[in-house]
Structure 1
Amino acid sequence: MERLQKIVTLSCLIYTLYGLSSFFQLGTFVPPIPLKPFLFLTFLIAYLVSSSFKEFNLLKIFTSFWLLSLIFVGQYFVEVFFDYQTVECYLRNVEPLVLIGSVLGFISVIFKLSYTIGLGFFKSAIPVLGIVLLFSFSPNLDDHLVYDFVIIAFAFIFYLYDCLNQVGIVETKQKEIILLLQGVAVLTFIERMTYIVLAY
Structure 2
Amino acid sequence: MTEQTQSPLAILAGPLEDLEYYVDLKPVQEDGLYERLYLTLDVDEERPELEYGLEIYFINDVMEAFGSDTDAEEAVITQFMLILPFSFPAETLLEAMRLCNYVNRLLPLGAFGVSEEDGAVFLRYCLASDSRAVPESVVIEVVQALEFACREYGPHFEKISQGQSAVKEFLGRFEESGHQIPSVGSPELFRAS
Using CA pairs under 8 Å that are at least 6 residues apart, name the structure with larger relative contact order, 1 or 2. Answer: 1
Please classify the TM superposition score into its range, dividing by the shorter chain length.
under 0.3
Q: Give the structure-1-normalised TM-score.
A: 0.26
Structure number with higher helix proportion: 1
Q: Give the structure-2-normalised TM-score.
A: 0.27
